[in-house]
A and B are shown apart, each in its own frame.
Chain A
Amino acid sequence: MGDLAGLIAKRLGLGLVTLLVVSVLIFFAVELLPGDIAQAVLGQGATEETVAAMREQLGLDRPAPVRYFEWLAGAVTGDFGTSLVSGERVSSAIGTRFINTLFLAAYAAVIAVPISILLGIVVALLRNSLFDRVANVMTLTSISSPEFFLGYILILYLAVKTGMFPALANLRADMTFVELLHRTFLPALTLVLVVTAHMMRMTRAAIINLLASPYIEMARLKGTPPWKVIVRHALPNAWAPIINVVALNLAYLITGVVLVEVVFVYPGIGQLLVDAVAKRDFPIVQACCLIFAATFILLNLTADVGAILTNPRLRHPK
C-alpha cells in the first residue's frame, strides 16, 4: 500500500504546484495593466499627487515579487487585503458569501448526483430505444442553453405565473432551514438542470463503454441473469468512471454558479466577483479568482485520486 500512498502524494504535489502557478498568473496578470493599479483606478483626470498617494498606500513602490509573496502569505491565512472601492477588508466581504455559494452548490449537487447517475444507467441499459433518443435530445438542449435562459424560464413559469417559489433569492439571517431551501430552490434547480444533463451523458458513455468489455459478454454467455450482470459484474467496475464524472461536474458547477447567482440576485461570491470586475476592484477580483480556481483544482484532484483508488490497474502501472 506504500506504493498507493506515494502515487496519491505525487498527484497532490502536482495539484499544489498547479495552484501555485495559477496564483502567480492571477497576481502578475494585474501587473500587466497599462501603467499601474493606481493610475487604472483613479483614471485620466487624477493629479500626480493623488496617484502618488495611492501608490504609497498600496505599497506599489516595492518590487512585484516581494508584493507577490506578501499577498500569497496573506491569502494562505485568509487575509486578502482591503477593497479599493469600499475600503472594507476583502476577507469580511467574502466570508458569508463564500458559505452561501457553497450552500447553493451543495444543494444542487445533493439533488443532481443521485438522479443523474440513476438516469444515466437506465439510459445506458435502454440505449437506442425511443426513451434514449428523447433523453439524448433533451440533455443536449439543456447543455446548449445558457444558464440564464433556463433560470429566467423557471422564474417565468414557477415564480411569476404560478407563484410557487420566490423569484429572487435574497437571504435574511433569521430564516429557518426550510425557508432557506424554499427560497433558494429556483437557483438550485437551474444548476441541477444543467449539471444533470452533463452527468447523465457522461455516465451513459461510461456505462456503455463498460458493457462492451469482454467479461460482461462472458457473464452473459454463461447465462447469468441480466440484473446479476449489472450488480455483480458491471457496477464494481463502474465506480471509478462514476466518481470521475461526479467530481468533474461539481467542478463545472463552480462556473455555472456565477451566472445563476446574478440571475437570482443571490448573495454569493460569484456576484461579488462580477461586481468587482465592473468596478475594477482588483483585490476582490484576485481573491475570488483564487478561491474559484482553488476549488476547481481541488475537485479535479479528487477526481484523479478517486480514479486511482478505485482502479487497481492505475495502482500498479506497468
Chain B
Amino acid sequence: MSNFVIGYYAALIAASCLAAYYQNRKVFMLLFSLTLVSFVLGIIGGVPALRGVTIFAGLLALAAGTSYAFREFLIQISKPGIAKELRTAPLTASFGMFVIFTYAIAGIFAPWIAPYGESEVIAQTFAPPDENLLLGADQLGRDIFSRIIYGARNSVGLALVATLLAFIMGALGGLLAAVKGGWFDQLMGRVADVIMSVPSLIFALLMLSIFGTSLIVIVIVVAVIYSPRVFRLTRAVAGNIVVMDYIEAAKLRGEGDWYLIRKEILPNSTAPLVAEFGLEFCFVFLLIAGLSFLGLGIQPPTADWGSMVRENATLISFGDITPLIPAAAIALLTVAVNFVVDWMLFRSSGLKEQ
C-alpha cells in the first residue's frame, strides 16, 4: 500500500465523517458512496484508477471554484439590477460564461497571444513539443498552439457571422409573416417546410458542391439552412403577441408594420429570441466544424479547428492526443453556450419542473 492510497482513503473517510457530523446528508451520501466505489475501482484498476478519480475530482473542484469566483466577479462589476439576476445563475451557467469570456479574449487578441503566425512554418513536420512549441508542430511544421489560438478567431468568427445572418433573415421573415398574415405568411411557412425537410449537412454539401467553398458561400448557405428554425420560433412568439389588445390599439392609431415590429413586438419577445440565438449558434458552429473537417469548409492555410483535426488525424494512430485538442475546443464552447442557454430558458419561461 503506497502513501497515496492511504492518504486517498483517509481523506475520503475524514470528509465523510465531517459531513455526517454537520448533518449534511447529500454530501455525506456522495462522499461515502465514492469511498465504497473506490474499493471496487481499486481492486479492478489498481492505483492508476484511484489517481484517475483524484485528478477528475480535482479538475471538477477547479472548474467549480473558477465558476464561483467568476460569478462573484461578474456580480461585483455589474449594476444592481443585473447583479440580482446573476445571483440566481447556477454554477454551470457561470462556468459557461467564463469559457465564452476566455474564447472571446483568445479570439480578439489572437495576434498578441499566439507566439507565431497562423501559417508560419517554423519547425519540422510533426516536431514534438518543447519549450518553444507548447503542443508541437503540425503536418507542415506550423505551431499547433498558435493555430488553435487563431482558430478561436476564424472558426468562432465565421460561425457568429453566419448565425447573425440566419437570425436576421429568420426573425425578420417571422415578424413580417406574423404582422402581414395571409398569403405572405403561407408562402414563408411552406418555404421553411421545404428547407427543413432536407437534412442540414446534406443540403450544405449539395450547395457547396455547386457554388464552391469560398467563405461568403459558406456563410450564406449555412444562414439559409438554419433561418427556418428562427423563422418558426419568431412566427410562433410574434403570433401570440399580434392578437393582443395593445397591437390592435396601435393599428387603430394608424401605425405602420415597421413601427409595430420595432416598438411593440420585439421588446416583448426578446427573452426567447436571445435563448434561440445561443442554440442556433451551437448548431451553426457544429455544422461549419463538420464541413471543415470534411475539407469543404474554411480552406487552408487559414487556421480552423475542424480542418486541424482532419490534417493531424494521423497522429492519433500513434496514441498522440494533440489532434483532439481543437475538437475538444469545439466541444467545450458548444457545451458552455448550452449551459448558459439552459439557464436563460429556465429563467425566461419561469418553468420549474415541480
Contact = CB atoms under 8 A, between A and B. Distances in A.
Contacts of B197: 18, 22, 293, 296-297, 300
Interface stretch (B37-45, B64-72, B159-167, B332-340): B332-340
A258 B294 CA distance: 9
23 contacts: A25-B194, A26-B206, A29-B210, A140-B338, A141-B331, A144-B338, A146-B293, A146-B331, A148-B290, A149-B324, A153-B324, A155-B316, A161-B319, A208-B353, A254-B199, A255-B201, A259-B201, A259-B293, A274-B296, A277-B208, A278-B295, A285-B205, A289-B202
Nearest to A295: B199
Given A146-B330, A149-B327, A262-B294, A127 B92 contact: no
Interface string A27-68: 001101100000000000000000000000000000000000
A146 B205 contact: no
Which of B199, B309, B317, B354 gathers most chain A CB within 10 Å? B199
Interface string A199-220: 0000000001000100000000
B170 interface: no
Contacts, number: 139
A152 B313 contact: yes
Q: Which A-B residue pairs are the 9 nearest by beta carbons?
A: A144-B334, A149-B327, A145-B331, A277-B209, A144-B335, A255-B199, A292-B202, A255-B201, A293-B198
Given A148-B290, A160-B318, 17 more contacts: A18-B194, A29-B210, A146-B289, A146-B293, A146-B306, A146-B327, A146-B331, A149-B330, A167-B317, A254-B199, A259-B294, A273-B205, A274-B296, A278-B295, A286-B206, A288-B202, A300-B197
B331 A29 contact: no
A154 to B, nearest CB: 11
A292 B199 CA distance: 8
Number of chain B interface residues as a range: 35 or more
Nearest to A144: B334
B interface, over-half SS: helix
A289 to B, nearest CB: 5
A127 B324 contact: no
A277 B210 CA distance: 8
Given A156-B321, A292-B202, A293-B199, A148 B209 contact: no
Contact of A289 (B198, B286, B319): B198
A276 B294 CA distance: 12
A21 B195 CA distance: 10
Given A140-B335, A144-B331, A145-B334, A22 B194 contact: yes
B263 interface: no
Contacts of A155: 316-317
A318 B264 CA distance: 33
A144 B330 CA distance: 8
Interface in A108-132: 127-128, 130
A282 interface: yes
B209 A276 contact: yes
Nearest to B209: A277
B193 interface: yes
A89 interface: no
Interface in B305-354: 306, 309, 313, 316-319, 321, 323-324, 327-328, 330-331, 334-335, 338-339, 342, 353-354
A315 interface: no
A307 to B, nearest CB: 17
Nearest to A160: B319
Contacts of A29: 206-207, 210
A18 B354 CA distance: 41
Contacts of A167: 317
A49 B330 CA distance: 49
Nearest to A280: B209
B335 A274 contact: no
B198 A296 contact: yes
Interface in A66-91: none
Contacts of B218: none
B26 interface: yes
Contacts of B208: 277
B282 interface: yes
B282 A144 contact: yes
Nearest to A151: B327
Nearest to A24: B194
A32 B206 CA distance: 12
Which of B293, B318, B342 gathers most chain A CB within 10 Å? B293
A18 B193 contact: yes
B30 interface: yes
A258 B200 CA distance: 12
Nearest to A262: B294
Interface string A248-267: 00010011001100100000
Contacts of A300: 197
B44 to A, nearest CB: 15
A268 to B, nearest CB: 13
Interface in A228-264: 251, 254-255, 258-259, 262
A137 interface: yes
B307 to A, nearest CB: 11
Contacts of A286: 206
Contacts of B199: 251, 254-255, 292-293, 296
B295 to A, nearest CB: 7
Given A18-B197, A152-B327, A255-B199, A146 B286 contact: yes
Interface string B187-223: 0000001100111111101111111000000000000
Contacts of A258: 201-202, 205, 294
